[in-house]
């Protein structure tokens, strides 16, 4: 029998309940495992005897292992290649920031050093976005909630994690049940990540967006829009055919009405495709009735897979200026991190069996923006 991750919350709670064991012991088990990576179950103090037998029979402290760790030259980005129990691999990236740098509203920013973890939710992805290497893998499998949480467990041993972004491999809302369960674990003891410090990114899975606020209140929602009109969106994002732009905007309007939260809009800049002045005006008109922050993302070429070019700095600046000055929409340009370890946005692809990988999505510190 395959042993389950102790961080698969629903499963362990169900098994404890069936055995008449109080679920109040579960958080203390999690804390012990985090602090003692190679522990044996009987080393955990003060558990009921039935709990030890159950843990031994059905659970592992971690079902995944860290296969390799790569640090960027500037030491601000660390990429972990994580091998799952079924032999597949995913990557997760730690990004370190000094959030006190720069100014906000003309005044020095408060904050300090902290780390953001970029988490994967699936092995591969079936969305097939043409500018993203992950799409070339196709969809392999969903991660269990425990496998999602274990990325945080592994990363926490290298750096204190304060923020989490679901912008790694996979479409989070296509693994909705596991996503919700994992986040509920992450926001509870002993992790206690603030919901306001967690961002979930989606290409626009409308059924998931419709449930998102009710199931995960106070989280940040990011939408990979990448085009201001449906035909361009369909050209670069095949999933747009299933989730047309008009219906997506209706879902986002309803989400914002319920949540009263700003929405992060991710927009990759592709030379000559979606980065011209007319596209900036179309995007501004599309979003002018919303409360949003637009994050412009410089395109990272993906080697021989690239069919797109990178927008020039001048064109990105002009695009940003139009959105800011004409439509009064807060617009940032994403800072890329970890490119020397193939850790930049849109380059994630795991090439097995030789285990060479081409990176994980990297993000700016959007979860620290003052909304």
CB 282 within 8 A of CB 274: no
Q: At 330, is the secondary structure helix, strand, or coil?
A: strand
Among 91, 150, 181, 266, which one carries the catalytic annotation?
A: 91
Does residue 129 have an active-site annotation? no
DSSP conformation class of 311: P
Query: How many CB atoms are closer than 10 A to CB 189?
Result: 11
Does residue 40 have an active-site annotation? no
Token pair 């012990």: residue: 32
Q: At 168, is the secondary structure helix, strand, or coil?
A: coil
Token pair 């691999």: residue: 89
Chain centroid to CA 88: 19
| The pair of three-digit structure tokens given for residue 66, joined into one six-digit string | 């860290």
Query: Which residues fall within 8 angstroms of residue 269, CB to CB, at 6 or more apart?
Result: 275, 296, 297, 298, 299, 310, 311, 315, 316, 319
The DSSP result for 179-221, as a single string, is HHHHHHHHTSTTT---GGGEEEEES--HHHHHHHHHHSTT-EE
Q: Which helix (H) or strand (E) holds 224?
A: strand 220-224
Among 118, 125, 132, 345, which one carries the catalytic annotation?
A: 345
- In DSSP terms, which residues pair with 165 in a beta bridge? 118, 199
Tell which residue, 277, 272, 282, has the closest CA to residue 235: 272
Own/partner pairs, 82-88, CB within 8 angstroms, 24+ separation? 82/150, 82/151, 82/154, 84/123, 84/143, 84/147, 85/2, 85/60, 85/147, 86/141, 88/123, 88/140, 88/141, 88/350, 88/352
Q: How far apart are CA 96 and CA 297, in angstroms?
A: 19
Query: How many CB atoms are closer than 10 A to CB 70?
Result: 18
Q: Active-site residues: which are they?
A: 91, 345
């Amino acid at each position: 029998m395959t042993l389950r991750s102790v961080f698969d919350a629903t499963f362990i709670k169900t098994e404890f309940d069936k055995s008449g064991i109080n679920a109040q012991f579960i958080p203390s088990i999690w804390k012990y495992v985090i602090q003692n990576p190679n522990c044996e179950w009987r080393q955990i103090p003060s558990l009921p005897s039935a709990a030890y037998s159950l843990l031994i029979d059905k659970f592992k402290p971690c079902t995944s292992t860290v296969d390799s760790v790569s640090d960027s030259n500037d030491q601000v980005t660390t990429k972990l290649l994580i091998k799952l129990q079924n032999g597949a691999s995913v990557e997760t990236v730690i990004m370190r920031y000094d959030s006190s740098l720069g100014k906000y509203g003309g005044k020095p920013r408060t904050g300090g050093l902290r780390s953001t973890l970029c988490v994967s939710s699936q092995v591969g992805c079936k969305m097939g976005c043409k500018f993203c290497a992950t799409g070339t893998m196709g969809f392999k499998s969903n991660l269990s909630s425990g496998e999602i949480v274990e990325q945080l467990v592994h990363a926490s041993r290298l750096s204190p994690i304060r923020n989490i972004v679901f912008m790694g491999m996979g479409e989070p809302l296509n693994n909705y049940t596991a996503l919700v369960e994992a986040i509920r674990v992450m926001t509870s003891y002993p992790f206690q990540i603030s919901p306001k410090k967690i961002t979930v990114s989606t290409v626009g899975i409308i059924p998931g967006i419709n449930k998102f606020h009710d199931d995960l209140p106070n989280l940040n929602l990011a939408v990979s829009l990448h085009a201001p009109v449906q035909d361009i969106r369909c050209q670069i994002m095949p999933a747009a055919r299933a989730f047309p732009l008009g219906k997506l905007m209706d879902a986002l309007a309803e989400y914002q009405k319920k949540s009263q939260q700003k929405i992060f809009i991710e927009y990759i800049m592709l030379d000559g495709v979606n980065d011209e002045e007319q596209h900036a005006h179309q995007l501004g008109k599309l979003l002018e009735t919303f409360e949003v922050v637009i994050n412009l993302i410089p395109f990272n070429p993906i080697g021989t897979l690239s069919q797109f070019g990178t927008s020039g700095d001048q064109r990105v600046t002009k695009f940003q200026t139009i959105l800011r000055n004409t439509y009064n929409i807060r617009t940032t340009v994403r800072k890329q991190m970890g490119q020397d370890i193939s850790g930049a946005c849109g380059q994630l692809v795991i090439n097995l069996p030789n285990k060479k990988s081409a990176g994980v999505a990297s993000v700016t510190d959007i979860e620290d923006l003052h909304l």
